């Protein structure tokens, strides 16, 4: 009999609304948070749609996790409080990798891009969630936890707590937290960098709760608010607030690209390659954007020296 645990995110919804209203009022008074009506509506409708999509039975992912847990688990970990704590930490490590792949593989980006599609960065952006996450192989990253012996209901519960934690870091209203906190935890400052489209900030700070994963795996970039303020959205921003278009635009792009691609390898690469990959390099991946930006910076820095030399 599976453990019956509540869905933490459902319980947190009233808190989300109160905090959004508080941020709006604070933003209006201080200028440190900005909302826009249609953008907010789209974000919140995406969030509501994501909850509805979550009601569809998880099928493959949850079923596979329960199968592995019931048939092949290494340890009988049970339901003690420390199991929840360890599950929370390991689930956050799994989240780091699922998130990193969510940016580096177009198949997973097709679902995750929705969360990055607002040009605003406020608490409503946190709720701009995907409707199509279950169409990606993201569930694979949770299977090792089931194999270790964590019951899938516990994994789902701690994942919900993880999502709740990530709500408050989607704000410009908080500058920096105390130094010890910034060193260990994901914070608004770290996550602003993750949402930024500035070339030198791309593909950084994938952490959910603990920023230590980025520091361990070499993807941490600190925010430099004074010299390089974050600019949010996508490299190619969406020209629409229509939730349906927001939800499926990257899937449409993948299908179109695969349809027109020549050869099986190219078709497959449009699915599992990085976003922006093309056989002829006519679009830019994030690596190419970063290289291009570095080249420009080098030219800019060399320019005054050249002038002086002349």
237 touches other proteins (CB under 8 A): yes
Query: Of 45 and 77, which has the nearer Cβ to other proteins?
Result: 45
Shortest approach of other proteins to residue 217 CB, angstroms? 29
Q: Write out the two tokens for 242.
A: 């229509």
User: Does the protein bind other proteins through residue 176 (CB under 8 A)?
Assistant: no
Q: Residue from 12, 32, 48, 97 that binds other proteins (CB under 8 A)? A: 48
Instruction: For the chain, report the end-to-end CA distance as a whole number of angstroms.
Output: 80
Instruction: Indicate whether 25 belongs to the interface with other proteins (CB under 8 A).
Output: yes
Of 124, 154, 161, 115, give the one whose Cα is nearest residue 40: 124
By the rule CB under 8 A, 286 interacts with other proteins: no
Tell me which long-range contacts 176-183 makes (C-beta under 8 A, separation of at least 24): 182/211, 183/211
Which one of 46-54, 148-156, 200-208, 214-222 is the stretch in contact with other proteins (CB under 8 A)?
A: 46-54
The answer to whether 221 and 198 have CB atoms below 8 angstroms apart is no
Residue 34 Rama label (left phi>0; alpha psi -120 to 50; beta): beta
Question: Other CB atoms closer than 10 Å to residue 131's CB: what's the count?
Answer: 22
Name beta bridge partners: 199.
none
Q: Given the complex with other proteins, which of 123 and 158 has the nearer CB atom?
A: 123
5, 53, 119, 287: which one binds other proteins (CB under 8 A): 119
Binding site for other proteins (CB under 8 A): 7, 10, 13, 17, 20-21, 24-25, 27-28, 34-41, 44-45, 47-48, 51-52, 55, 119-120, 124, 231, 233, 236-242, 245, 249, 252-253, 296
């Amino acid at each position: 009999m599976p453990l019956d645990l509540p869905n933490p995110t459902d319980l947190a919804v009233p808190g989300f609304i109160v905090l959004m209203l508080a941020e709006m009022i604070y933003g209006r008074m201080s200028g440190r948070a900005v909302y826009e009506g249609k953008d907010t509506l789209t974000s919140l409708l995406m969030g509501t749609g994501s909850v509805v999509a979550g009601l569809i039975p998880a099928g493959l992912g949850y079923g596979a996790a329960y199968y592995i847990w019931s048939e092949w688990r290494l340890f009988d970990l049970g339901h003690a409080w420390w199991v929840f704590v360890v599950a929370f930490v390991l689930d956050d490590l799994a989240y780091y990798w699922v998130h990193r792949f969510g940016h580096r593989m177009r198949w997973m980006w097709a679902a995750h891009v929705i969360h990055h599609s607002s040009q605003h960065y406020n608490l409503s952006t946190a709720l701009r969630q995907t409707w199509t996450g279950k169409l990606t192989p993201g569930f694979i990253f949770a299977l090792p936890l089931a194999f270790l012996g964590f019951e899938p209901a516990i994994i789902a519960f701690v994942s919900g707590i993880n999502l709740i934690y990530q709500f408050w870091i989607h704000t410009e209203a908080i500058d920096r937290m105390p130094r010890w906190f910034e060193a260990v935890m994901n914070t608004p400052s770290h996550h602003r960098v993750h949402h930024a489209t500035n070339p030198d900030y791309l593909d950084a700070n994938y952490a959910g709760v603990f920023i230590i994963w980025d520091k361990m795996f070499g993807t941490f970039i600190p925010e430099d608010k004074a010299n390089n303020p974050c600019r949010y959205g996508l490299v190619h921003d969406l020209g629409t607030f229509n939730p349906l278009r927001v939800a499926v635009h990257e899937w449409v792009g993948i299908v179109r690209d695969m349809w027109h691609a020549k050869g099986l390898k190219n078709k497959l690469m449009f699915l599992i390659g990085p976003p922006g990959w093309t056989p002829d390099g006519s679009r830019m991946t994030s690596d190419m954007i970063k290289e291009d930006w570095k080249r420009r910076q080098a030219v800019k820095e060399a320019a005054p020296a050249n002038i002086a030399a002349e």
